[in-house]
Amino acid sequence: MELQDKIYVAGHRGMVGSAIVRRLQKAGFNNLIFRTSAELDLTDQQQTKAFFEETKPDYVFLAAAKVGGILANNTYRGQFIYENLMIQNNVIHQAYVQNVKKLMFLGSSCIYPKMAPQPLKEEYLLTGSLEPTNQPYAIAKIAGIEMCDAYRAQYGCNFISVMPTNLYGPNDNYNPQNSHVLPAMIRKMHEAKIEGKSEVVIWGTGTPKREFLHADDMADACFFLMQNYNESGLINIGVGEDISILDLANLVKEIVGFKGSLVFDTSKPDGTPRKLMDVSKLHSYGWHAKIALKEGIENVYLTAQQQQLI
C-alpha cells in the first residue's frame, strides 16, 4: 500500500474497523474512505455498486458485519445469515468489478467445527459440525472465505481472508442483550459494584476456555498482512494462549473492583468448549501480539467509563 492509495474500511465505526482506521492513520494513511450504515446500506446491491463506481478504492478492509454473542446469534439467526451474506457478497463482487488491488475479508474463529482439535489450525475448516448456536453466522463467514478464494481462482483477484480470535477493545459493544462475553462481564461487574450488589451471575459453567486479542493488536496484524500475505485459504490472528471463563471472570472482578461473589448459571449454554487459535502460520510471517490481557482489560475498562459506555 502506498500513502496515496484510496483505502475503503467497511465497518469503520465498529470495534474492528475503527481499530484498523487508527492503525492506518498512525502509519500516515489519510486517503481513507468511510460510509456509515445510514449513508450506505451494504446489504443493498445497487447502493454498493454505485458506491464502488463512485469511489474506486485501491484497497478494501471488509470489517462490516452483523455480530453478537451467543444470545444474539441464537435469537436473530435469520438476520445473521442474511445480512452477513449480503454485505460480503456485494462488497467482494464490487471489489472485483472495480479492479480493487487487494481486499481483506475478516471472519471469526467460530468458523471452525465445534469439536475440532485444539489449537485450531487453518486446515480444520469444514472438517466437522459447527457450534449450533452460531451456525448461521459461521456459515456466512465460511461462504466469504470461499468467495474470496473462488474470485482469486477464476478472476485472479488478490482477496485474502483473516480469522481473528475473540476480540475486545475501544468501541466494543456493552449492550446486555447482544454483547460478547468480556464486555458483558465488565458491564455486569461494574454495575454490581456501583449498585452494591452481593453477587454477579455468569452464564454457563465457567469451564470453557477462550482466547482474547486486543483490537489494536488485531488491527496491527491486519495492517501487516495486507502488505505481506497474498495466499488463498485463510490465516488465523490470535495470541496463541487462552483462559477459562472462570479465571477471566475473576480477573475482571479484580480489575473492576467488585467485592461480591460470582455465581455460575449452569442452565445457560457454554457454547464451544474451547476456541484456541493455532497462530504458527502468522508467527512464521514474523508477527506477534504485544498487549497482555490484564493490561488490555484495564485500558478498555477505563475507556468504557470515560466514554460512558457502562
Neighbours of 260 (CB within 10 A): 14
Check: CB of residue 178 under 8 Å from CB of residue 134. Answer: no
The catalytic residues are 137
- Distance between CA 211 and CA 208 in Å, rounded? 10
Looking at the predicted structure, is the pLDDT value of residue 158 above 90? yes
Whole-number pLDDT of residue 89: 98
Give the model's pLDDT for residue 99.
Answer: 97
Q: Which of 96-100, 167-171, 235-239, 241-245 has the lowest mean pLDDT?
A: 167-171
The answer to whether the annotation marks 182 as part of a ligand binding site is: no
pLDDT of amino acid 39: 96
Q: What is the pLDDT of residue 172?
A: 87
- Is 247 annotated to bind a ligand? Reply is no
- Sheet with 274-275, side-by-side order of all strands: 243-244, 209-210, 274-275
Domains of the chain by residue range: 7-171+212-240+275-292
pLDDT at site 236: 98
Question: Looking at domain 7-171+212-240+275-292, what is its CATH homologous superfamily?
Answer: NAD(P)-binding Rossmann-like Domain (3.40.50.720)
Average pLDDT rounded to a whole number, residues 4-26 = 96
Q: Average of pLDDT values for 258-268? A: 94
Residues 6+ apart with CB under 8 A from 21: 9, 12, 32, 34
What is the spatial distance between Cα 233 and Cα 240, in angstroms, rounded to a whole number? 20
β-strand 243-244 against 209-210: which pairing, if any?
A: antiparallel
Cell numbers describing residue 234 = 485463510
Check whether 213 has a pLDDT greater than 80.
yes
The reply, when asked if residue 68 is annotated as ligand binding, is no
Q: What is the pLDDT of residues 102-138, one digit of tens each?
A: 999 999 888 999 889 999 999 999 999 998 888 999 9
Q: How sure is the predictor about 20, in pLDDT bands with cuts at 50, 70 and 90?
A: very high
17 is in an annotated binding site: yes
* No. of helices (H) and no. of strands (E), the chain: 10, 13
Q: How do residues 48-93 score in pLDDT, each as one tens digit?
A: 999 999 999 999 999 998 877 777 777 889 999 999 999 999 999 9
| Residue 190 pLDDT grade (very low, low, confident, very high; cuts 50, 70, 90) | very high
| Phi, psi of 10, rounded to the nearest 5 degrees | -80, 125
190 is in an annotated binding site: no
Query: Among candidates 108, 73, 74, which has minimal Cα distance to 88?
Result: 108
Rounded Cα distance between 118 and 148, Å, is 26
Is 188 annotated in a binding site? The answer is: yes
CA distance 255 to 153: 48
Q: Which residues of 105-134 are buried (b: 16+ CB within 10 A; e: fewer)?
A: bbbbbbbbbbebebbbbbebbeeeebbebb
What's CA 207's distance to the chain center, in Å?
22
User: Cis omega before residue 119 (within 30°)?
Assistant: yes
Whether residue 203 is annotated as binding a ligand: the answer is yes
| Integer CA distances (angstroms), 128 to 240, 249, 271, 278, in order | 22, 30, 16, 17
pLDDT of residue 21: 97
Distance CA 308, CA 310 (A): 5
pLDDT at 80: 92
* 103 in Cβ contact with 60 (< 8 Å): yes
Say if residue 106 carries a ligand binding annotation: yes
Q: State mean pLDDT over 158-172.
A: 93
pLDDT at res. 46: 98
Predicted TM-score (pTM) of this structure = 0.91
Q: Is residue 234 over pLDDT 80?
A: yes
Q: Supply the pLDDT for residue 76.
A: 80
Contact 250, 264 (CB under 8 A): no
Q: Is 77 annotated as a binding residue?
A: no
Lowest mean pLDDT among 74-78, 221-225, 261-265: 74-78
CA dihedral 129, 133, 137, 140 (to 10 degrees): 30
pLDDT, average across residues 3-32: 96
